[in-house]
Amino acid sequence: MSKYPPLSRYETGAASARVRDQLARLRHRMRSEAILDEATARLAAELNIRPAEAAEQLTRRAQHSGLDLISVAKGVERPSEEPAKAPDVPEWVHSMLEAVHASAFYLTPIRDPAGRVVDFLIAAANRHARTVSGRTADELTGRRLLVASPGVASSGLLDDYLTVYETGESVHREPLEFVEVHDYLLWPATLSVRAARVDDGLLVSWRALDDEELLVSGWERAQRLAELGWGEWNLATRRALWTAQMYEMFGRDRAEGPLPLEELPATVVPEDLPVVEDELRSLLEYREAVETELRIQHRHGIRHLSMFSEPILDADGLPVKVRSLVQDVTRHRRRERALAVAHEQAHRQRERAEEERQVTLQLQNTILPIRRGLLQLPGLIVGVRYLPAEELGRLGGDWFKAGPIPDGRVLLAIGDAMGHGLTAASIMLQTRSGLTGLAYTGADSGRLTTWLNDLIVHSNEAITVTGTAIIGHFDPEDRSFRWTNAGHPAPILVRNGKAELVNGTPGMMLGAFDATEYATTHTPLETGDTLLLYTDGVIERRGQDVDTGLHALVQAAHHCVGEDPEAMIDCVLKRLGSEGAEDDVCVMAARVL
């Protein structure tokens, strides 16, 4: 039996009422934020400006009208319910969308009169597409992204998409605490979001982490310290999630469900009532993480529970969830052992990270491709050239592979791991080494590329790792080149003194999405043909678009026809001025014998 007298109904009722009042004020603020976010998105779409500029415009309207900001926001008209006619997109875009087994959009840029990208149009969607608020592809295709999903602005996703479009570097955010806004309501969700640039648009996919994944994620965090319980309270929907240990620690029947947050004061001993009120005030009003130790009146006696709680904030700093890690510290030594283990694990992780950094640096210095050479291969003579960037910090992940495989074919591949420095070099090594092993299976280039993509995705799940490549096989028996393009610049074929780009089926860049299928293109070759493979450092220059660089490369190849592949590469690079380039330059010229 507890030695503490039970709290009176008045005391527990008053404490619960105070918490209930705090939650009511918080939900009122949530609705106000939803009104502002949705109005900002509508105004940005109406004026064709960015959300930050629309927010300033909304503030000025309130100042000039003398009305409060919420009233002005409510006056912003809803856009037409009928979406604009979606632009025609190539069939391969629809094929790529359907290859993604999650909600996915293909977005095209919307520009203002100055040429800035201010928003995106939902040009196409796959059959799985569904927003957090439940809207489907048919309701969204043809709409501006900001109108369809105002939450992309406040969550920072729109800024991420603009960065992906401008830089070409993919992004993966997981877990993302996303708050959708629709009809002046907030729809919180925890998402996994990926975005990659494809042609002149973005391929974006997302999925909501379900309750099971959220519970597993919380439990895994707890396991790193000790045997802990984990709970989450959604302040917008009033839904709560608990692990099994939480029910045991609070002496609560699972059939009752998790304890509502406002009822927490009723579970503690009288002396700890101020502590629990301070804890909830810190979380809900001051929006601070807090660590407390409470004495819970359990059916088996008093339990001492150590609680570490944190508010989950949306982009406006408004708490939308509360998460808690709870440990039964009745036996104090258990906590000391758990903390010691956690510190030791952290120390070992730091040591391993430093060792891995040193190993990566050594690998980059020893396994970069050869700078130049001439390779005699079955049916081919291949010239290669690798020019690293002059600055170490700009050293990229360009790579190539050329050599015979046991079935008599010749593997020809070239690629570029996105980024610069140590990360790019290690990704280059992983990609090149992985391809070398997979090539001996005898599979066609499409299957090899699919396997290589899966290898990159699943070997680097903690971060988003992307790259581009052309992977192909030359068959000396029929002089054919069967190849696959994974987001890489197209090859150039020089035949009878003329140079032109080789058309092939474009594919997704490596590492952007898992379970991606790649097609194989068949290109017949003739004796005397030269196939030019290259990385983007050859065609990209500051202040010059890629199309201009491609045209210059084709013209250079046209003027540099010759018997010697190495001489041809020298001529092409000289005409393009590639010495001292800001990015790595890698070129292969394969002449058919």
The structural domains of the chain, ordered by start, are 24-208 (3.30.450.20), 211-330 (3.30.450.20), 369-592 (3.60.40.10)
d(CA 229, CA 123): 45
Determine the pLDDT at residue 483: 97
Does the structure show a pLDDT above 90 at 191?
no
Please classify residue 110 by burial: count the beta carbons closer than 10 Å to its beta carbon, then call 0-12 exposed, 13-18 middle and 19+ buried: middle
Could you read off the pLDDT of 75-97 as tens digits, one per residue?
Answer: 888 776 566 666 778 888 888 88
Determine the pLDDT at residue 6: 62
Determine the pLDDT at residue 392: 43
d(CA 280, CA 282): 5
**Percent of the chain clearing pLDDT 90 (strictly above):** 35
d(CA 26, CA 104): 33
- Cis preceding linkage at 175, omega within 30: yes
Determine the pLDDT at residue 360: 46
d(CA 564, CA 55): 62
Does the structure show a pLDDT above 60 at 481?
yes
**Percent of the chain clearing pLDDT 70 (strictly above):** 85
- The DSSP annotation for 507-531 comes to -PPBTSSSS-----EEEE--TT-EE
Q: What would the mean pLDDT of 540-564 be, rounded to a whole number?
A: 87
Q: Rounded to two decimals, what is the model's pTM?
A: 0.46
Does the structure show a pLDDT above 50 at 23?
yes
Determine the pLDDT at residue 99: 84
Pair 36, 69: CB distance under 8 Å: yes
Of residues 412 and 368, more confidence is placed in 412
Does the structure show a pLDDT above 90 at 430?
no
d(CA 476, CA 6): 89
190 Cβ partners below 8 Å, 6+ apart?
A: 175, 176, 177, 178, 208, 209, 214
Does the structure show a pLDDT above 90 at 393?
no
Residue 444, CA distances (Å) to 96, 287, 483 in order:
20, 56, 8
Determine the pLDDT at residue 82: 61
Of residues 19 and 461, more confidence is placed in 19
Does the structure show a pLDDT above 60 at 556?
yes
Q: What would the mean pLDDT of 131-158 be, rounded to a whole number?
A: 87
Does the structure show a pLDDT above 60 at 198?
yes
How many helices (H) and strands (E) in the chain? 16, 21
Determine the pLDDT at residue 224: 47
Determine the pLDDT at residue 351: 80
Q: What would the mean pLDDT of 460-478 be, rounded to a whole number?
A: 84
For residue 375, which phi and psi values (nearest 5 degrees)?
-110, 130
d(CA 244, CA 264): 17
Sole residue written with tokens 């799940």:
461
Could you read off the pLDDT of 359-368 as tens digits, one per residue?
Answer: 544 654 555 5
Locate the DSSP E strands across 91-139: 103-111, 117-125
Indicate the average pLDDT of the chain.
Answer: 84
Does the structure show a pLDDT above 50 at 383?
yes
63 Cβ partners below 8 Å, 6+ apart?
A: none
Of residues 511 and 475, more confidence is placed in 475
- Residue 399 is which amino acid? W
Q: How confident is the model at residue 11 (pLDDT cuts 50, 70, 90)?
A: low
d(CA 13, CA 31): 27
| 323-326 LR contacts (CB < 8 Å, sep 24+) | 323/218, 323/230, 323/231, 323/232, 323/233, 324/230, 324/231, 324/232, 325/218, 325/221, 325/222, 325/225, 325/228, 325/229, 325/230, 326/228, 326/229, 326/230, 326/231, 326/245, 326/246, 326/249
Pair 411, 439: CB distance under 8 Å: yes
Of residues 563 and 128, more confidence is placed in 128
Sole residue written with tokens 């790193």:
224
Q: How confident is the model at residue 379 (pLDDT cuts 50, 70, 90)?
A: very high
Q: What would the mean pLDDT of 557-566 be, rounded to a whole number?
A: 88
- Which two three-digit tokens encode residue 428? 């280059």
Determine the pLDDT at residue 391: 44
Does the structure show a pLDDT above 50 at 275?
yes
- The DSSP annotation for 298-361 comes to ETTEEEEEEEEEEEEE-TTS-EEEEEEEEEE-SSHHHHHHHHHHHHHHHHHHHHHHHHHHHHHH
Query: At CA 194, angle to CA 433 and CA 350, rounded to 5?
Result: 60
Please classify residue 431 by burial: count the beta carbons closer than 10 Å to its beta carbon, then call 0-12 exposed, 13-18 middle and 19+ buried: buried
Determine the pLDDT at residue 36: 86
d(CA 190, CA 175): 6
d(CA 401, CA 267): 67
d(CA 38, CA 179): 12
Q: What would the mean pLDDT of 399-405 be, rounded to a whole number?
A: 90
d(CA 121, CA 139): 13
Does the structure show a pLDDT above 90 at 502?
yes
- Residue 527 is which amino acid? T
Does the structure show a pLDDT above 90 at 486?
yes
544 Cβ partners below 8 Å, 6+ apart?
A: none
Determine the pLDDT at residue 54: 87
Determine the pLDDT at residue 225: 52
**Dihedral sign of CA atoms 74, 80, 82, 88 in order:** negative
Q: What would the mean pLDDT of 40-65 be, rounded to a whole number?
A: 88
Q: How confident is the model at residue 356 (pLDDT cuts 50, 70, 90)?
A: low
Does the structure show a pLDDT above 50 at 394?
no
The highest-confidence range among 22-36, 51-65, 517-531, by mean pLDDT, is 517-531
d(CA 434, CA 413): 12
Q: What would the mean pLDDT of 328-355 be, rounded to a whole number?
A: 72
Could you read off the pLDDT of 148-179 as tens digits, one per residue?
Answer: 888 888 888 999 999 999 998 999 988 788 88
Return the number of other C-beta atoms located less than 10 Å from residue 376's C-beta: 8
- Which two three-digit tokens encode residue 325? 């890690």
Put the strands of the sheet holding 319-328 in their side by side order.
Answer: 240-242, 229-234, 319-328, 301-313, 290-298
